[in-house]
Amino acid sequence: MKVALTRTPEDVEKDRKTFERAGFEVVAIPLLEEVPMDFEVPELYFDFVVFQSARAVRHFLSRHRLRNEKVLVVGEKTRREVESFGYEVWAMPEKYYGEELLKLFKGLSGRVLVPRSAVGREELIEGLKSLGLEVYPLDIYAVRERTYEKEELLGKFEGVDAVVFASPSAIKGLLANLQKEETEALLKDKRVVCLGKTTKSFLEEHLRVKGLMPEKPTIEKVVELLSSMA
């Protein structure tokens, strides 16, 4: 089976190994690019730091050292990235979703720092505020769509059996290159796998395309899902 990976070039190359070990042929079609941003951490004491992605961990911890903040992460990949910088993770939800992360904060109080993308979703921020916490979102990187000549992009998708979208941003990246009808035609005969409920909902809300979703939003579970269908 030939599988198209659509994240940033760096993420595609990391994920490639997992798919190739399982016997898949990988087609790299990066639809996103990372852009680091200048940022300054407020001169305050923080009780908690929340990371929603490994990308946020890399951009933040490569430029800023933690003090005694308790670190919470949304998933295993993000946990491993935190640990690679020499820090321990204080808590991680069993299910890798932002709303599950909120449950860990019930009954807690204090200041929460949330390093994130400049286009980060607001649900977590608003949820933390509703629990009475003092929340400081900090934009540390941006993700922008990567553009192609149409014929080049369509050529990359030739012969592809499955397409993996890890975020709504990747779907937006495809829509930035193709019209909605062209995108639907491109995907209609392919297995489209979404890494999580948010991505699947975005896909099905904006395109007449049915998305598949693994039981957990991890690349390893995506590979298991596609292996079961191969």
pLDDT in tens, 22-56: 999 999 999 999 999 999 999 999 999 999 988 89
Pair 25, 76 in one domain: no
Pair 126, 43 in one domain: yes
Q: How confident is the model at residue 121 (pLDDT cuts 50, 70, 90)?
A: confident
Pair 96, 158 in one domain: no
**Which segments of the chain are extended strands (E)?**
2-5, 25-28, 32-36, 48-51, 70-73, 111-117, 134-145, 162-165, 191-194
Pair 23, 52 in one domain: no
Print the domain residue range for 13.
2-31+146-229
Average pLDDT along the chain: 94
Q: What's the angle, vertex CA 212, arms to CA 158 and CA 57, rounded to 5?
A: 90
Pair 126, 158 in one domain: no
pLDDT above 90: residue 96: no
| Bridge partner residues of 72 (DSSP) | 50, 91
* Token pair listed for 196: 């999580």
State the pTM of this model: 0.73
**143, 163, 194 — which closes off a domain?**
143
| CATH number of the domain bearing residue 16 | 3.40.50.10090
Q: How confident is the model at residue 18 (pLDDT cuts 50, 70, 90)?
A: very high
Pair 52, 89 in one domain: yes
Pair 152, 97 in one domain: no
Pair 120, 192 in one domain: no
pLDDT above 90: residue 77: no
Count of domains observed in the chain = 2
